[in-house]
Structure 1
Amino acid sequence: MSQRNEQPSGEKDPLEPDVRQIVQAAGNEALAPEEKAVLWERIEYSISEEKPVYRRLWWKVAAAVVVLAAAGWWMLREKPAAENGVLAFARQQQPVADTSTETRLVLGNNRQVTLSGASASLTYGQNGTRVMVNEEQQYEQGAGSDIQYNTLIVPYGRRAKIIMEDGTEVWLNAGSRMVYPVVFNGKSREVFLEGEAYFDVAQQADQPFFVFTNELKTSVLGTAFNISAYADDAEQTVVLVQGSVKVNANAGDAEQLLTPGYKAGYSVAGRGISKEHVNILAYTAWKDGRLVFTRAPLPDILKKLSRYFNILITTETNSKSTFSGDLDLADDISTVLDAVSVSTGLKYERTTDGIILKKK
C-alpha cells in the first residue's frame, strides 16, 4: 500500500495568510510594487516546500488568481477616466490643426460647418437638435438614444463662444478644441477640452459637470472657472473664479480642491498638482479681448500673442526678466507690439517666419 504524506487537519497551510493578505489589500488599497514582490516571493517559497499535491496546487492557483484580480483592480482604479465616453471619443480624433484658418463645427453626422469671423458663436436648443451659428445660420441634427458628439475646432487667430443646451456658457480661446454631447441626458455632463476655455456652468445639483483634458478631470456643480490645457505647454492649469471645483489627475492620485482665486497647476512632467493664489484676470481676461499678465516671462507673453494673432512671435534675448501689464487685444498687432516694445525696451522686426523681438 502506497504511503501519502498528509498534513494534519488542524494545521493551517503557511501560504494561506499571504493569499489572505493580498485579498485584503485588493479590497482596501493597492499594494506597492515592492510589497507585491515580497509577498510573491513568500508564496513561491511556501509552494516549493513539500506539501500534499492537491492542497499545494489549490493554493498556487488561488494565489495566482488573487494576484491577477488585484492587478486588474489596480488598473481600473488608476485609470478610471480612460473608459470615459467623451474622453475616448476625443482621443480617437485628430489633434487641432495649426494650419486651419477658420473655426469649424463637426456635427454628429460628421458634417462640417465653417464658422467665419474672428469670433464665432454657437447656441444650442434645449434638446440639442437645433444649433444656431453666428446668430444667423441654423442647422438641424437628429436626436436618438445614442450619445452624439459635436466638436468645435478653433484655430489660432480665432475665438468662439458656445451656449450649450443646459445653459452652460463656454468661451474658447485660440488653438482650442472642445468635444461635447449635443444633449446632456445622463447622470453627469461631460466634455473634453484641448487648449483653453472659460466655463460658466449652469447649476444642476443632480447632474454634475466634468471637464476632461488629456491629463486632468475637473469636477463641478455650478461655477465659473478657466482651464488651459495646450498640448505644447509644460503645465495645465485650472483657475477658479466662483464656486468650487475638484481637480484630479487622470492617472494617479494627485488631487486639489479649489476655492475662488486659486489655481491648480498640473506638471505634465512631474505628474503632480500644485495650488496657489493668483490674479484671476491674468487667466481669464482673454475672453474679453485683453491680455493681463503679472510677473510673466517674456516668452510666455509672446506665446499667448502668437496664438491670439496666429503669427509666430519670438525673441532672441535670454533675459529672465518678468513683466506686468494689460494689453488691449482689440488693437491691431502693430499697436500691441508697440506697447510690448515700450515695456520691454526691445524692438520688433518682421521676418519671413513671423516677428522677432531683439535689442535696440
Structure 2
Amino acid sequence: MKYSEKDIEFANQILTRRNELDNGLVEAWMSDPEHVEMLREFVAIREEYTNWNFEVVKGEERERLHQAISRKKKRQLVTRWSVAASVVLCVALSVLYLWNDSYWAFEQKFPQQVNLTQHKMANVELILADGKRVLLDGSGQQIQDHGVSGIKDDSLQGLTYVQAKALDKNVTEVLYNTLKVPTGGFYQLELSDGTRVWLNAESELRFPVQFGVGKREVYLRGEAYFDVRKDTSRRFVVHLRESNVTVLGTSFNVKAYGDEDYIYTTLVEGQVRFTSEKEHEEVTLRPGMQSVLNLKSGKTELKEVEVEQFTAWRQGRFVFPSTTLGDLMCQLKRWYDIDVVYLAPEAKGYEFRGAINRDMDLKNVLAIVEKTSNVIFDINGRTIKVTIKSK
C-alpha cells in the first residue's frame, strides 16, 4: 500500500506532537481505515527499531552470514545457508531502508497479499466477568463490565484497562476478564497497572480488570510477550500449566501451548524466576536466557538463546536461526489455520534457517521453505502434505 507524502507527514505529527493538533482534523483524518493502518505500522516499526544502531546491526548481520556460509559443510547445506542468508539479509536491508528513507516505504516491509492489520484482528474476543462476549476490532469502543467503566478497545494500543474504574467504590470483588486470540491472529493488551501484553495466535489470557493490593496474577494459555510495569510492592506472576513465572518489572516471552510438551520462557531484559510446580524446581533467568520445562519429566533446562527467534512474532515476523521443520510447520499451522500431514515422518527433524514476514501468502512461505530444505509441499485446500525430494 502506498501513502502520500502529506499523509505520512500528518501521521508523524500525530505520533510526535499530538497535543498541538486540532482534534477535529485528527478525528477526520483517522476516519479513513487506511490512515489508521498507517499509524499502526509507524508504531510497530518505532517500537522495534528505536534503540538500534543501524550501521552496527548491518555490519554484524553481514559478518554473521558470511561466517555461516563459509563453514565447511556438505554442498547441500551450504546451498541452504546461502538462500536463507539472502532472505535474512534482504529483511535487514529493507528495514534499514524503511527507517532512513523519508517516505517510509511500508510496501517493502509488508509486500504480500494478506493485510496483516485486518488479519490479526479477526474474531479476537473478550469474555467479561458476567460471561458476556465482545468482539474486538480496534474501533475505539468503550466497554463496561459489571460496574467497571473505562475499558477501551483502542485503535493503536489495543485493549487497555489503565483508565478502568469501579462505579461503586465499595465493591471490593476482583473481577476477571479473558482475552482470546484465534488462529491467525494476535492482539495487544494494556493491564490496569500499565503492564503491556502481546498475545500470539491461539492464545488466551485471564486477568483482573483491576489489580488488588496483593500479587498481580494472570493466567496464560498459549504464547505471550510481557512488558511488566515495575512495582516492588507487588510481584507479577504468570500462571502456566504446572508452572509459573514471577517478576517485579521486566520484558519476557512465554510459550505454553496446550498441544506441546514443553514450556519456554525467554528473558529479554530484567530478571524472572521460573518455577516448576511438579518438581518444585526454581531457576532464575538473566537476559538472553531461556528456561525449557519438559512437562512429561517435570525437569527444567536452562540455556542461552537468540532472543529474537522467540519474540519476532510480535513485530509480524517468523525468525528461524535454527529450527526443525516440525516446529516451523507447527508455527505456520497456528497462523495460517492449516492441517499438516507428513508422508515422510523423518522430515520433521530437518533443519531450517531463515526469516519470513507473517503477512506473506502461504504459498510464497512454503516456496521459500522448499528452496532451503529437502522437502516438497503438496497443497490441497487447508491440508499440506509433506514429502521428501527424490535424489
Task: Judge conservation of contact 1:302–1:314 (CA < 8 Å) in 2.
Answer: no
* % identical aligned pairs: 30
User: Residues 52-91 of structure 1, C-alpha deviation per residue, up to 9 Å, x if partnerless?
Assistant: xxxxxxxxxxxxxxxxxxxxxxxxxxxxxxxxxxxxxxxx
Shift of residue 129 of structure 1?
3.2
Equivalent residue, structure 1, for 2:21: none
1:84-233 matches, cutoff 5 A: 102-116=123-137, 129-135=149-155, 144-233=171-260
Question: How has the CA–CA distance of structure 1 residues 150 and 128 changed in structure 2, closer, same or farther, with 3 Å as cutoff?
Answer: same
Structure 1 residue 276 and structure 2 residue 303: aligned? yes
SS across alignment from 1:195: strand
| 2-structure distance, mates of 1:236, 1:261 | 16
Which one scores higher on RCO, CA 8 angstroms, separation ≥ 6? Answer: 2
| 2-structure distance, mates of 1:122, 1:271 | 44
| 1-structure distance, mates of 2:308, 2:272 | 18
Whose radius of gyration is greater, 1 or 2? 1
Task: Judge conservation of contact 1:122–1:161 (CA < 8 Å) in 2.
Answer: no
Structure 1 residue 252 and structure 2 residue 273: aligned? no
Root-mean-square deviation over aligned CA pairs: 2.7
* Uncovered stretches (5+) of structure 1, i.e. residues with no partner: 1-100
| 2-structure distance, mates of 1:128, 1:190 | 19
| 1-structure distance, mates of 2:272, 2:211 | 20
Equivalent residue, structure 1, for 2:359: 330
The one-letter code sitting in structure 1 at the alignment partner of 2:308 is L
Shift of residue 323 of structure 1?
1.7
1:66-85 matches, cutoff 5 A: none
After TM superposition, the score normalised by the length of structure 2 is: 0.61
Task: Judge conservation of contact 2:350–2:373 (CA < 8 Å) in 1.
Answer: no
SS across alignment from 1:304: helix
| 1-structure distance, mates of 2:226, 2:188 | 10
Task: Judge conservation of contact 1:154–1:172 (CA < 8 Å) in 2.
Answer: yes
* Uncovered stretches (5+) of structure 2, i.e. residues with no partner: 1-121
Equivalent residue, structure 1, for 2:59: none
| 1-structure distance, mates of 2:277, 2:174 | 22
User: Residues 244-276 of structure 1, C-alpha deviation per residue, up to 9 Å, x if partnerless?
Assistant: 000001233211100000000100000011100
SS across alignment from 2:253: strand
The one-letter code sitting in structure 1 at the alignment partner of 2:125 is R
Shift of residue 316 of structure 1?
2.5
Shift of residue 353 of structure 1?
5.0
Task: Judge conservation of contact 1:102–1:155 (CA < 8 Å) in 2.
Answer: yes
Task: Judge conservation of contact 1:107–1:141 (CA < 8 Å) in 2.
Answer: no
SS across alignment from 2:151: strand
Shift of residue 121 of structure 1?
9.4
The one-letter code sitting in structure 1 at the alignment partner of 2:285 is L
Task: Judge conservation of contact 1:124–1:165 (CA < 8 Å) in 2.
Answer: no
* Count of aligned pairs: 257
| 2-structure distance, mates of 1:282, 1:102 | 27
Task: Judge conservation of contact 1:121–1:160 (CA < 8 Å) in 2.
Answer: no
Question: How has the CA–CA distance of structure 1 residues 116 and 314 changed in structure 2, closer, same or farther, with 3 Å as cutoff?
Answer: farther
Equivalent residue, structure 2, for 1:286: 313
Equivalent residue, structure 1, for 2:373: 344
| 1-structure distance, mates of 2:312, 2:129 | 32
| 1-structure distance, mates of 2:322, 2:309 | 10
| 2-structure distance, mates of 1:215, 1:293 | 28
Shift of residue 345 of structure 1?
3.4
Structure 1 residue 354 and structure 2 residue 383: aligned? yes
SS across alignment from 2:372: helix
Task: Judge conservation of contact 2:352–2:369 (CA < 8 Å) in 1.
Answer: no
Question: How has the CA–CA distance of structure 1 residues 350 and 141 changed in structure 2, closer, same or farther, with 3 Å as cutoff?
Answer: farther
| 1-structure distance, mates of 2:382, 2:318 | 23
Question: How has the CA–CA distance of structure 1 residues 124 and 294 changed in structure 2, closer, same or farther, with 3 Å as cutoff?
Answer: farther
| 2-structure distance, mates of 1:247, 1:122 | 37
| 1-structure distance, mates of 2:301, 2:141 | 34
User: Residues 307-357 of structure 1, C-alpha deviation per residue, up to 9 Å, x if partnerless?
Assistant: 011222343331333122111112121221111111113222222551123
Task: Judge conservation of contact 1:115–1:134 (CA < 8 Å) in 2.
Answer: no
After TM superposition, the score normalised by the length of structure 1 is: 0.66
| 1-structure distance, mates of 2:238, 2:194 | 16
Task: Judge conservation of contact 1:121–1:161 (CA < 8 Å) in 2.
Answer: no
Shift of residue 162 of structure 1?
0.2
The one-letter code sitting in structure 2 at the alignment partner of 1:109 is D
Task: Judge conservation of contact 1:121–1:162 (CA < 8 Å) in 2.
Answer: no
Question: How has the CA–CA distance of structure 1 residues 243 and 148 changed in structure 2, closer, same or farther, with 3 Å as cutoff?
Answer: same
SS across alignment from 2:314: helix
